């Protein structure tokens, strides 16, 4: 069973926790010194046995933060909980979060929040895939509510570039953050469900798709075929964290609309071009460094100290 089940969660309230406490690196250094090593060891084990797990875990953190802040609410079960929204379709990796939480509870009961686990797991998934190794700020509290209607805030695969920019702006994130966090699609896959609309529109295929990739996409995702067939988001290196996704977008090889449209806007197009150019140069912005900084900024969404630390009851363990 998953730690999501709200009814079997015990709540531990740390009365010594200051309401003025802010996120910081090394938050658990004294209260749970092995927390980050426990998280890292589980991520390495799980991602080594399943190459698709690293991007799945990274996606969990993004989906948690972008709805009502990084509060672990994506893990709450219920008929109207946010993870029931169609905008969260295909989320997975919850069982890994279960294992991490169980080990942390055994080592440091009631100390490490689920929200922080999601942030650390995402960081370690990026590093496992060859991306930057960055320091995660911790000290988040877990939210106690989850509402599927709030998932309307989440960027989705068929959003236009203007909608994407507005959704990021509403979160205090910039066009640059939009490009950088989309760069996470350099690892992982999508489903035909999110692609067929670009292929079989009555007026013809999306004209921004490079014609040379159309036969492959149509072969993998035939009209009326299985919607759950998986496609690489990064056509060149879907298990390696790099800038090849941006080159694919520029060349018309973006698989989903929300990636492809970034090259139709002057602002986001310019940012993409800069990262492509700097990937083979010693000057210009460094994608890996900027991506890490953008992840930290996203990790501050909704940060507050008024929540709780969810604690797993033994009855919920597998």
Annotated binding site: 64, 67, 69, 71, 73, 155, 185-186, 234, 242
| Residues whose CB is less than 8 angstroms from the CB of residue 168 and which lie 6 or more positions away in sequence, other chains included | 155, 174, 175, 177, 178
Instruction: Provide the annotated binding site for substrate.
Output: 155
Residue 40 token pair: 């890292």
Cα separation of 267 and 262, whole Å?
A: 9
DSSP 87: G
Among 61, 63, 88, 235, the active-site one is 63
Q: Phi and psi (nearest 5°) for 309?
A: -110, 110
Residue 204 CB-density burial (10 A; 0-12 exposed, 13-18 middle, 19+ buried): exposed
Cα separation of 2 and 40, whole Å?
A: 20
Cα separation of 70 and 302, whole Å?
A: 6
Catalytic site residue 63? Answer: yes
In order, the DSSP letters of 164-219 are HHHHHHHTT--HHHHHHHHGGGGS-EEEGGGTHHHH--TT-S-TTS-TTTHHHHHH
DSSP 85: S
Catalytically active residues, by annotation: 63
């Amino acid at each position: 069973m998953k730690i999501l089940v709200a009814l079997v969660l015990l709540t531990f309230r740390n009365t010594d926790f200051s309401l003025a406490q802010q996120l910081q690196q090394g938050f658990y250094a004294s209260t749970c010194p092995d927390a980050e090593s426990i998280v890292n060891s589980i991520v390495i084990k799980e991602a080594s046995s399943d190459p698709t797990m690293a991007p799945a875990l990274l996606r969990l953190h993004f989906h948690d933060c972008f709805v009502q802040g990084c509060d672990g609410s994506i893990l709450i079960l219920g008929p109207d909980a946010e993870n029931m929204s169609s905008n969260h379709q295909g989320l997975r990796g919850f069982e890994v979060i279960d294992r991490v939480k169980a080990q942390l509870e055994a080592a440091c009961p009631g100390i490490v929040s689920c929200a922080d686990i999601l942030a650390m797991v995402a960081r370690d998934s990026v590093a496992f895939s060859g991306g930057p190794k960055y320091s995660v700020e911790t000290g988040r509290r877990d939210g106690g509510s989850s509402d599927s209607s709030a998932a309307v805030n989440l960027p989705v695969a068929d959003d236009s570039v203007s909608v994407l920019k507005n959704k990021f702006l509403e979160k205090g994130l910039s066009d640059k953050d939009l490009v950088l966090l989309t760069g996470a699609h350099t690892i992982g896959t999508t489903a035909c469900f999110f692609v067929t609309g670009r292929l079989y529109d009555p007026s013809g295929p999306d004209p921004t798709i490079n014609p040379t990739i159309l036969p492959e996409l149509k072969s993998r995702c035939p009209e009326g075929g299985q919607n759950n067939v998986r496609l690489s988001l990064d056509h060149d290196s879907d298990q390696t964290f790099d800038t090849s996704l941006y080159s694919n977008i520029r060349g018309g090889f973006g698989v989903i609309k929300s990636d492809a449209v970034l090259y139709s806007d002057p602002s986001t197009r310019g940012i993409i071009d800069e990262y492509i150019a700097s990937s083979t140069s010693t000057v210009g912005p460094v994608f890996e460094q900027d991506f890490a900084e953008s992840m930290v900024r996203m990790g501050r969404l909704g940060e507050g100290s008024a929540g709780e630390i969810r604690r797993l009851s033994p009855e919920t363990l597998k």
